Structure 1
């Protein structure tokens, strides 16, 4: 899982689609269903699909072949929103504090190569401001590792400047270990009990070491065309192992942002981007679209799958789209899809 792409070329996307600039009062975006096929023709994906939700109304569209509406797929770093939600629920229950140090919960684990868990807080893990190296930069997202092995790999590198935003999967692997230490249960069990079961996300699971996807599912392809449908989720762990569906992701983000999973204070904390200088909250990041609308959500990149969910701040309107390959070849297409969905059309 490569670093999160939080700064995308929005002006370029606008120019490519023949749209007015971001400060135009008459911004007009093409319908999302018209932009979606570009993910296959210009984006290099074998197939793409989206599911939009507004209130109780949903709209599905797909392009190419090999994807169906009910398919299960790997969601990559969207897992981080689930992990962050569990941590913030534990904070709301006073079972931990975001100012707790990593050392307090995982004594002695982070004490190598200038990395010091006594100086790192849970808040710094949630906001990617810990300075810890990303273990996936070493493994390439291909080698299955245990959580502690992932941490040890990361600790072979000195930290970057603490307090600056630097996306690292290691942060969320550590948060998975903190959840287990605080609750006595694996992070997957806590997410199931607190999120998946209450919201009836019947297509969502933490597969652990299970390499196959549950049916129904299509195929997943690496950038070179290799079939990577079967994959050991331990390549990502708490940073990206989730398996889910389009409908479940729409339902989850709608429930999260409309306040069904966190008390108001903790939802505001989740959306507070000051620690990461506007780039990231806690398991969520904002994206300001060319029309001025800001949407909240996350993306997910894992071998054979790229997923993006975005929603209005109240959760009433949500869009999830996915492609069945590693990434979108043209990075301007992602903001174009979001603009087409969330920016108002004018005549």
Structure 2
């Protein structure tokens, strides 16, 4: 897409673009080994993430032998408050895995087909030069092969400090977001990450069920799994319960507290709030078969190349190589001051989630990838 560097940065902050998904071979071998040798391996990996300049970091991992967690940094700038042991945070694009799961549950119930067109459920909504909902399927939405442009909130909202201050409480409707997206340039490649795809998927869930995407996610995933610290907040701008503050510099050296945010611009694509513990439970349940039937889980994990990311992408999950051989399924997430990575082994027996607050630097993503790689490789050893 032809966007300016500032706009591209804003897309990452707003939407949790999966540009953080890189192959394990691209992760520096020393990324998680910078601390004293007698330190716990998970703590070393968390410290390595913190050393890239983020404010706070927390991680939790699970395996057949139990679970482990580690923290580094502070929960708020200018304080010595430790990161909360199970703090809540905006999970960004890891929300897409929840949305894809709901859609695939509806497929299993015979209420929807992956081969249904967008036009069938949202007649007339997706029509623009080079984009036609009559030719785009639900599968293509979830797979990011629809050719629909990504959405940019108008007037640089949330891309600058002034935009954040003026629009942090603004409510966007899904229809408004789709309209904004259709005014953007078309992607230049067949596979192109677009948050608009998942906004449309959320709208289709509403049309199929007669209930909001938020309610379906809650009733189908959050409540059955007992994810007590997870929520789909709609337009509610606050994070309730223990949480670390979120910060971004909007491309400058000044860190601004951006914890307050109306996440309506990310419905279906990035708005869920959760914890490392709850995300581990979700990914374990997803891949051990508690949420999807085998046929639908096979659809989710049937991947296509995502050349720009160096990985393969299925329906709401990426398949990411492990340095020890094999691969895991997971998703990155980033939403204005929070960034995360969640992953699980193909059978769900091992999971790892890490999140950080603040912008960090170019090494932050590599250190997070190294942590998940290290822990999931250990699960299989």
TM-score scaled by length of structure 1: 0.90
Rounded to whole Å, the distance in 1 between the matches of 2:345 and 2:319 is: 10
The answer to whether residue 40 in structure 2 is matched with residue 40 in structure 1 is: no
1:79 to 95, 99, 109: 95
Q: Deviations over 1:48-73 (max 9, x none)?
A: 01011114721110011212122111
Rounded to whole Å, the distance in 2 between the matches of 1:18 and 1:89 is: 38
Rounded to whole Å, the distance in 2 between the matches of 1:276 and 1:94 is: 29
Shift of 1:325: 2.0
Structure 2: 5+ residue stretches without partners: 1-10, 34-39, 76-82, 159-166
Q: Is the 8 A contact 1:221 1:304 kept in 2?
A: yes
Provide the residue aligned with 2:316 in structure 1: 283
Task: Give the total of aligned pairs.
Answer: 335
Provide the residue aligned with 2:114 in structure 1: 98
Shift of 1:15: 4.4
Summarize the alignment of residues 78-157 of structure 1 with structure 2, pairs less than 5 Å apart. 78-136=94-152, 142=158, 144=170, 145-157=172-184
The answer to whether residue 198 in structure 2 is matched with residue 168 in structure 1 is: no
Shift of 1:212: 0.8
Provide the residue aligned with 1:339 in structure 2: 373
Q: Secondary structure at the match of 1:200?
A: coil
1:208 to 192, 215, 234: 234
Q: Deviations over 1:274-319 (max 9, x none)?
A: 3757621011111102221311111110001001101110001101
Summarize the alignment of residues 262-301 of structure 1 with structure 2, pairs less than 5 Å apart. 262-274=292-304, 279-301=312-334
Shift of 1:115: 1.2
CA root-mean-square deviation: 2.4
Shift of 1:16: 4.1
Q: 1:328 to 1:60 in 2, by over 3 A?
A: farther
TM-score scaled by length of structure 2: 0.82
Shift of 1:198: 0.4
